Amino acid sequence: MPFSVNLGQQHYVFADLKTLLAKATPARSGDVLAGVAASNNQERVAAQYALADLPLRHFLNNVVIPYEDDEVTRLIIDSHNATAFMPVAHLTVGGFRDWLLSDAATTESLQALAPGLTPEMVAAVSKLMRIQDLIIVAKKCEVITRFRNTLGLANHFSTRLQPNHPTDDAAGIAASIIDGLLYASGDAVIGINPASDNTQTVARLLHLLDDFITRFDIPTQSCVLTHVTTTLELINQRAPVDLVFQSIAGTEAANSSFGVTLSILAEAQSAALSLGRGTVGNNLMYFETGQGSALSANSHHGVDQQTLETRAYAVARAFSPLLVNTVVGFIGPEYLYNGKQIIRAGLEDHFCGKLLGLPMGCDICYTNHAEADQDDMDMLLTQFAAAGGNFIMGIPGADDIMLNYQTTSFHDALYIRRLLNLPPAPEFFQWLQTSKIMDKHGALFSGSELPPRFAQALSLAGPL
Amino acid sequence: MSELKNDSWQVLRSYTSARIALGRTGVSLPTAANLQFQLDHARARDAVHLAFNTQAFIDAYTATFPNAAKPVMLVSEAENRMRYLQRPDLGRRLPEAQWQILRQSASEHKNADIAIVIADGLSSAAVQNHALPLLTLLIPRLRAENLLLAPLSIATQARVALGDDIGEALKAKLVIVLIGERPGLSSPDSLGLYLSYAPRRGIRDAERNCISNIRIGGLSYQQACDTSMYLTLAALKDGVSGVTLKDQSLLLDNQPNHAIPFLKP
| Residue B130 resides in a domain | yes
Q: Among A129, A127, A115, A3, which Cα is nearest to A54's? A: A3
Residue B257 scores a pLDDT above 70: no
Candidate from A191-200, A282-291, B249-258 with smallest mean pLDDT: B249-258
Neighbour count for residue B152 (Cβ, 10 Å): 22
In the predicted structure, residue A447 carries a pLDDT above the cut 80: no
Which is nearest to A32 in space by CA: A372, A310, A335? A335
Question: Pick from A431, A394, A444: which is nearest to A161 by CA?
Answer: A394
The pLDDT of residue B14 is above 70 = yes
B176-202 pLDDT tens trace:
999 999 999 988 999 999 999 999 998
CB-nearest to B18 from A176, A459, A461 is: A176
Tell me the shortest Cα–Cα distance from B99 to chain A, in angstroms.
24
What would the mean pLDDT of B79-85 be, rounded to a whole number? 94
Q: What is the pLDDT of residue B256?
A: 60
Residue of chain B whose Cα is closest to the Cα of A448: B8
The dihedrals phi and psi of B4, each to the nearest 5 degrees, come to -65, 130
Cβ within 8 Å, pair A169-B16 = yes
pLDDT digits (tens, 9 = 90+) for A326-354: 999 998 999 999 999 999 999 999 999 99
Tell me the nearest-neighbour CA distance from A189 into chain B, angstroms: 19
Residues of B (53-112) whose Cβ lies below 8 Å from A: 85-89
B128 sits in which H/E element? helix B124-144
How large is the ipTM? 0.95
**Residue B176, domain member (yes or no):** yes
Polymer length of chain A: 464
Mean pLDDT of B242-262: 68
pLDDT at B209 over 50: yes
Q: How far is B113 from chain A (nearest CA, A)?
A: 32
Find the domain containing B212 and state its range: 49-245
Q: Rounded CA gap, B122 and B222, in Å? A: 23
Q: Is residue B43 part of a domain?
A: no
Reported as a pLDDT band with limits 50, 70 and 90, residue B1 is very low
Any idea what DSSP says for residue A366?
B
Q: Tell me the pLDDT tens digit for each residue of A67-91.
A: 999 999 999 999 999 999 999 999 9
Overall size of chain B counted in residues: 265
pLDDT at B80: 94
- What pLDDT digit, counting tens, does each position of B128-154 carry? 999 999 999 999 999 999 999 999 999
- CB contact, 8 Å: A52 with chain B? no
Please report which helix (H) or strand (E) contains residue A249, including its range. none
Nearest-angstrom CA–CA distance, A187 and A280: 14
At A298 the pLDDT is 86
Say if B257 falls within a structural domain: no
Give the helix ranges, DSSP H, for A102-247.
107-113, 119-126, 131-140, 170-182, 199-215, 228-236
Domain-located, residue B189: yes
CB contact under 8 A, B41 and A374: yes
Q: How far, in Å, CA of A452 to CA of A432, rounded?
A: 12
**Is the confidence at residue B251, as pLDDT, over 60?**
no
Burial of B134-146, coded b for 16+ CB within 10 Å and e otherwise, reads bbebbbeebeeee
**pLDDT value of position A464:** 46
pLDDT of B253 reads: 63
pLDDT value at position A198?
Answer: 83
Q: Distance from B62 to chain A by nearest Cα, in Å?
A: 31
Q: Do B48 and A169 touch (CB under 8 A)?
A: no
Is residue A86 less than 8 Å (CB to CB) from chain B? Answer: no
Q: What is the pLDDT of residue B2?
A: 60
Other C-beta atoms lying within 10 Å of the C-beta of residue A85: 18
Question: In A146-304, which ranges are continuous DSSP H helix?
Answer: 170-182, 199-215, 228-236, 252-257, 262-275, 293-296
Cα–Cα nearest to B195, from B160, B168, B158: B160
Instruction: Using pLDDT thresholds of 50, 70 and 90, give the confidence band for residue B5.
Output: confident
Distance (Å) from the C-alpha of residue A72 to the closest C-alpha of chain B?
A: 25
Distance, in Å, from the CA atom of A432 to the CA atom of A442, rounded to the nearest integer, reads 9
Residues of A in contact with B257 (CB under 8 A): 170
Is residue B82 in some structural domain? yes
Q: List the one residue out of A266, A261, A307, A259 whose CA is nearest residue A284.
A: A266
Integer distance in angstroms from the first to the last C-alpha of chain B? 38
Q: Which residues does chain B have within 8 Å of residue A395's beta carbon, measured at their own beta carbons? A: 18
Number of domains in chain B: 1
Nearest neighbour of A397 by CB, restricted to B27, B37, B88: B37
Comparing alpha-carbon positions, the chain B residue that sits nearest to A215 is: B265
CB A410 within 8 A of CB A396: yes
A13-37 core/surface letters (b: 16 or more CB in 10 A; e: else): ebeebbbbbbbbbbebbbbbbbebb
Q: In order of start, what are the domains of chain A with their CATH numbers?
A: 3-140 (1.10.220.70), 145-434 (3.20.20.70)
Contact between chains at B263 and A417 (C-beta distance less than 8 A): no
Partner residue opposite A337 with nearest CB, options B86, B122, B255: B86
Query: For A14-63, what is each residue's pLDDT tens digit?
Result: 999 999 999 999 999 999 999 999 999 999 999 999 999 999 999 999 99
Does B146 reach chain A within 8 Å, measured CB to CB?
A: no
At A120, phi and psi to the nearest 5? -65, -35
- In this predicted structure, what is the pLDDT of residue A197? 80
Give B246's contacts (C-beta < 8 A, 6+ positions apart).
none
Kindly report the average pLDDT of chain B as a whole number. Answer: 92
Residue B116 within any structural domain of the chain: yes
**In chain B, what residues touch A449 (CB-CB under 8 Å)?**
8
- Domain harbouring B85, CATH code: 3.40.50.11240
Long-range contacts of B91-96 (CB under 8 A, 24+ apart): B91/B157, B91/B158, B91/B159, B91/B162, B92/B159, B92/B160, B92/B161, B92/B162, B92/B164, B92/B165, B93/B162, B93/B165, B93/B201, B94/B162, B94/B165, B94/B166, B94/B169
Residue B254 has pLDDT above 80, yes or no: no
Contact A417, A185 (CB under 8 A): no
Query: Does the CB of B148 have a partner CB in chain A at under 8 Å?
Result: no
State how beta strands A150-151 and A145-146 pair: antiparallel
pLDDT band at A294, cuts 50/70/90?
very high
Contact A398 B252 (CB under 8 A): no
B42 within a domain of the structure (yes/no): no
Model-wide pTM > 0.90: yes
Q: What are phi and psi of B51, to 5 degrees?
A: -65, 145
What is the pLDDT, as a whole number, of residue B246?
61
- Identify the CA nearest to A431 among candidates A123, A190, A219: A219
pLDDT of B106 higher than 70: yes
